[in-house]
Amino acid sequence: MLVAAIVIITLALVFYSIGVWAERIQRTLKWWHAAFFALGLAADTTGTLLMSQIAASRRADGVAAGGLDQLMAITGLAAIILMAVHLVWAVIVLIRNRANEKAVFHRFSIVVWAIWLVPYVLGAAGAMLGHETSVTLRLLELPDAVRAAEGVVMELDDGAFPLLAGTE
C-alpha cells in the first residue's frame, strides 16, 4: 500500500505542476488547467487517505507517530483544503469569463502550489530521514508566494512541532 500511496501522491505533484505552470506560461486560465487542478486534488486526496491508513496500522502495531508525521498531517490537510478552494475559485473565474481575472489567476495558483509542496517535502524528508530526525525548512523565495510563505512559517512556528528545528 505504501508504494501505491507514493505513486499516487507523486502523480498529484505531476498533475498539479502541469496545471499551475502551464497556466503561468500561457498567462491565462483555461478549462484544461482546471482539469489538471482537479486531477491533482483527486490524486493528493487519494494518496493522503492511503497514507492515513498506513499510519493507523502503524499506530495499531504500537509505533508512535513522530513530530514530523504530525506536522505533515496538519500541513497536508491545509494543502488539500487550499487545493479545493483553488479549484472552486478557478471554475468560478472560468464561468465568469473575465479576461483580467483569468490573466492574473496564476498568482493564486503559484501560491497554492508552493504551499502544497510543504507537506510533500515533509513526507519525503520523513521517509528518508526517519521519524525522529529534526528538520530545518529552507523555503525558496518566489515573489508571488512570499506573503503566503510567511504566513505558513508563522503557523508552523505557532504549532511548536518538536522536530521542526526552524525555517529560513
Q: How far apart are CA 114 and CA 116, in angstroms?
A: 5
Q: Is there a contact between 40 and 12 (Cβ–Cβ < 8 Å)?
A: yes
pTM summary value: 0.74
pLDDT digits (tens, 9 = 90+) for 50-87: 888 887 887 777 766 666 667 777 888 889 999 999 99
pLDDT at residue number 119: 83
**Residue that the C-alpha cell 490573466 belongs to:** 103
Residue 8 confidence (pLDDT) above 90: yes
Q: How far apart are CA 20 and CA 112, in angstroms?
A: 9
pLDDT digits (tens, 9 = 90+) for 98-154: 999 999 999 999 999 988 888 888 777 666 666 566 767 777 777 777 777 777 777
Residue 167 DSSP SS3: strand
pLDDT digits (tens, 9 = 90+) for 16-54: 999 999 999 999 999 999 999 999 999 999 998 988 888
